[in-house]
Amino acid sequence: MRSTRTDVARTVAQKTRLIRRSRKGCGNCKLRKIKVFLQCDQAKPQCQPCLSYGVVCNYGKDVMDLRLPKESQHLWVAQELSPSAPLKDPISTEAALKTHTVPFELDAGSLRLLNQLYHQMKLTSVFPVANIFHLAQGQYPFLMHAALALSAAHDRSLFKAIRSGQGRTLSEMAHIFQCTTLLSRKLCHEISPADRDPIWATASFLSILSFLALDECDPSKAWPFKPSESDDMNWLRLGDTKWKLFQLTQPTRPDSIFYPMSDIYQKMRAYKPTSSIHSISPELQILCRLDEWSQPETSPYFEAAEIITRLGKWRDFEIPFTEAMAFIIYTSPSFKSLLLMKDPVALVLLALWYSKASKTIWWIDLRGATELEAICMYLRKYHYDDLAIMGCLRCCYGKAQGPDLLCQEGYTY
């Protein structure tokens, strides 16, 4: 009788242990430590995190870790794209061979990352994602390299909480090099009408990759702490080059895959500062030393302060893409020069922008995760006696002890 009770107790204990183990999620979720971001929902046969990640759930011992589903091994980004477009395996297009570049193959790992990026952009991006990925599969290897580089960078963003200190991978940088080399060669020749959309898509991906070109993840060693270099703010200056390509490719033309975005492009190009001091919060007026006679032409901080005030009207995670990008597009060249010189007021405005825009756009968040903290550390070290600056820094982290910056009526920071 005693042994029977012991057996029952052992069985109950085993079941309890099994249940506890199950609550942590499937094997893939445990391996990826998915609980850092969201809980595994334990749905069968596929939990939601594995479905989004593009792998097969492995509740059973007979399923290997992080295995691609069978259909993903043969089709380009599953069913959202055309099922009639089989994966070219290996992908070594004639265009790549003619440019004397090394042919590349889409292995299972690359395909998984592309699937992952595709689903992320499908959910959060205004881009015509399916059309772009179809073009990448065609005779445009520079676009394929851009997509592969961006997919690797996106993977870094997903794991930033558990891979602290990891910068760009060699694979990511190699794809960027191949992309820029091939694109430069393409632009040296006459552009055909069919080339315009692939070129604009590549330019858009490269502008995102410029944000992600951050190899130092230790805030105490990152910019602005590190010695100044000429390419420190390339990501902020890239808009000028991209505008030239915009004029060349004309993505708002009716036959472009980007035509549905015409209204967005128009809003991004039509923004103008109000030239009114009342469009800037009183706290930022004090910080930037603005008065009723200040104008965008006379103050390098004016546009940046006005844009940040406008961002303060939006709740976190609800900021429109055009509002977040206005800081990059419309801040004056003189303001960008001040950032290069590590001007403290310009640094505060950049930190405030990071604190808002990074909650809306993943590729801003990846850079902001390091540079926002670095800027705050830098200002606390070298400008700790400036009360206006210190007050703004509290708002960057949402830990202000007094009234938050922009938390006046109409501004919900």
Instruction: For residue 86, give the 3-state DSSP assignment.
Output: strand
CA distance 40 to 24: 7
Residue 34 pLDDT exceeds 70: no
Q: What is the 3-state secondary structure (H, E, C) of 288-300?
A: CCCCCCCCCCCCC
pLDDT reported for residue 166: 66
CA distance 327 to 299: 15
Query: The tokens 């968040």 sit on which residue?
Result: 365
Instruction: Give yes or no for a contact between 184 and 339, defined as CB atoms under 8 angstroms apart.
Output: no
Q: What is the 3-state secondary structure (H, E, C) of 68-79?
A: CCHHHHCECCCC
Q: What is the average per-residue pLDDT within 160-182?
A: 78
CA distance 31 to 27: 6
Structure tokens at 220: 């105490």
- Closest CA relative to residue 199, chosen from 266, 253, 149, 245: 245
pLDDT reported for residue 82: 32
* Alpha helix segments (H runs only) across 125-165: 129-137, 141-158
Sign of CA dihedral 218, 223, 229, 235: positive
DSSP E strands, 126-222: none
DSSP 8-state secondary structure symbol assigned to residue 402: S
Q: What is the average per-residue pLDDT within 176-193?
A: 91
CA distance 7 to 412: 61
Question: Measuring CA to CA, how many Å separate 46 from each of 77, 89, 114, 118?
Answer: 17, 27, 20, 19
Query: The tokens 């395996």 sit on which residue?
Result: 89
Structure tokens at 398: 């949402």
Q: Where residue 267 falls among pLDDT bands split at 50, 70, 90?
A: confident
Structure tokens at 194: 């069919």
Residue 348 pLDDT exceeds 90: yes
> Over the chain, what is the mean pLDDT?
75
pLDDT reported for residue 95: 38
Q: What is the average per-residue pLDDT within 392-399?
A: 63
Residue 372 pLDDT exceeds 70: yes
Lowest mean pLDDT among 143-152, 165-174, 287-296: 165-174
Could you tell me which residues come within 8 angstroms of residue 226 by beta carbon, excluding any fewer than 6 positions away? 216
CA distance 246 to 197: 10
More confident residue, 77 or 200: 200
Radius of gyration of the chain (CA): 25
Instruction: Give yes or no for a contact between 412 and 313, defined as CB atoms under 8 angstroms apart.
Output: yes
Structure tokens at 228: 């100044």
Give me the numbers of helices (H) and strands (E) for the chain, helices first please: 18, 0
